[in-house]
Amino acid sequence: MKKQPHYKYNQRVFGTLSATFLSISLFVYCIDPYWLFHRKPVWDGHNIVLALKMRFTKSLQVIFRQPRVVIIGSSRVYRGIPTNKLPQYNAYNLGISSLRISEADAYVRHVMRWTPVKVIVLGLDYFMFDHAHQSEPGFDSSVTNFNYLFKAIPSSLLTLMAVKDSLTAMEGEKKSDGHWTWSGFKITKPRPAERMEVVVNTFYNDHKEVTDQELNKLENIIRQTRLKGIELKLFISPLNQRMINRMKKMGVYEEFERWKAMISEVARSNNVKILDFSKNNPFFIDHTEHGSSTHWIDPSHYSPKTGLWILTQTGFLVAHKNQNN
């Protein structure tokens, strides 16, 4: 019996669509530019896409990893807290470049909804509470929505963005400044001396306005985690003398101290302990005149060795005698 023309039409259309998208998704799955599916993908740790699309990537990675411990913070966290040293905890490093407190609030809710997380560690930085910057480019506010996954997972397989990112991932090795690990931590290459002053000069150039809106976000994080029975650990990122001097020079030191007092008050009123490592750390003298040192990648970012000390202070690791050297 001769097939109807419309039957053949449908066959051709849906056949073409299926073949095309199967091919595309297979290609993207094999390359795995967002490091979701394979323990050892083809590009082996040096993938510039993970840095360029950090917010998108990590929002999906944390779901695929299903961690019990999640450490959230800025680039200081993802470069400094070596979660690959915590396999026993199944920890994931959700440090994101220039993370803002509003974004942190959204990611905490995202993590609580989709993972079996038991402990959340939140590294706080002064710039995160800047009222003028509620979020950064690449942040998708729908990450708190139930159907975010229905959008994000197909996007990571079927879209032009995924194809382009796959191609970028394949040529990434030359461009990346470090080596990503499965747990979201990035092993950063040592930085040269000339980079140090550049980093210092990018900080504290303007005054940050911290309003109730930002403090409420922190309070919301505390309340949400308490409601779900999740342990929340807060710490203020370690700083060094060079950064403190920079703050004093730019006239923001008092604002910084005021900010610390405000967030400490929020934590105290909600019966949550906040560990202040800003000056209370044994690595206050940074020794970065000649480039990256033992405890500092650059004047702003502490090294994984310092990160290990933080993990000890927060109770994840037992202190060793020579850990502070």
Partner 1 sequence: MVFWNYHITSLYYCHTRFCAGFIQTLHQSLERLIKYYARAKNICRSTLAQGCFQSMLFNSFTFLLIFLPVTLLIYYKIVAYARRETAILWLVVASLFFYGWWNLAYVLLIVSSILFNYLTGSLLARYKARWILWIGISANLLLLIYFKYTAFIIANIMTLTGTHLEINGIILPLAISFLTFQQIAYLADVYSGDTVEFSFHHYALFVLFFPQLIAGPIVHHREMLPQFTQGNLKFRHHNLAAGFTIFTIGLFKKVIIADNLSGFSDTIFAAAEIGNHLTLIESWTGALAYSFQLYFDFSGYSDMAIGLARMFGIRIPINFNAPYKASNIIDFWRRWHITLSRFLRDYLYIPLGGNRKGKLRRYINLIVTMLLGGLWHGASWSFFIWGGLHAVYLIINHGYRYIFRAFSLSPHAGTGKLLSTSLTFLAVVVAWVFFRAESFSGATEVLRGMSGLNGFVLDNTSHAATIWILISMAIAWVFPTTQDFIRSPEPVADQHNQPAIVWRTSPIWSFLTALMAIIVILNLHAVSEFLYFRF
Q: Which residues bind partner 1 (CB under 8 A)?
A: 4-10, 12-13, 16-17, 20-21, 24, 109, 112-114, 116, 142, 144-147, 150-151, 154-155, 158-163, 228
**Token pair in block for residue 33:** 């530019």
CA nearest neighbour of 119 among 269, 242, 234: 234
DSSP bridge partners of 121: 71, 233
Residue 160 or 318: the one with the smaller Cβ distance to partner 1 is 160
Count the neighbouring beta carbons within 10 Å of the beta carbon of residue 314: 19
Cα dihedral: 196, 202, 204, 209 (round 10): -150
Residue 23 or 280: the one with the smaller Cβ distance to partner 1 is 23
| Distance spanning both ends of the chain, measured CA to CA | 84
Q: How far is the CB of 141 from partner 1 (least distance, A)?
A: 10
Q: How far is the CB of 206 from partner 1 (least distance, A)?
A: 20
Residue 24 or 275: the one with the smaller Cβ distance to partner 1 is 24
Residue 153 or 250: the one with the smaller Cβ distance to partner 1 is 153
Q: How far is the CB of 122 from partner 1 (least distance, A)?
A: 19
Question: Which residues, in sequence order, are CB contacts of 172 under 8 Å at separation 6+?
Answer: 43, 46, 47, 48, 49
Give the type of residue at 261: A
Instruction: Give me the helices (H) in the chain, please.
Output: 5-31, 48-52, 54-65, 75-80, 101-114, 148-158, 160-170, 193-201, 212-227, 241-250, 253-269, 304-313
Answer positive or negative: Cα dihedral of 120, 125, 126, 131: negative
Q: How far is the CB of 36 from partner 1 (least distance, A)?
A: 15
Residue 77 or 120: the one with the smaller Cβ distance to partner 1 is 120
Count the neighbouring beta carbons within 10 Å of the beta carbon of residue 197: 13
Q: How far is the CB of 69 from partner 1 (least distance, A)?
A: 17
**Can you tell me whether residue 117 is helix, strand or coil?**
coil
Residue 26 or 198: the one with the smaller Cβ distance to partner 1 is 26
Q: How far is the CB of 234 from partner 1 (least distance, A)?
A: 22
Q: How far is the CB of 64 from partner 1 (least distance, A)?
A: 15
Residue 116 or 318: the one with the smaller Cβ distance to partner 1 is 116
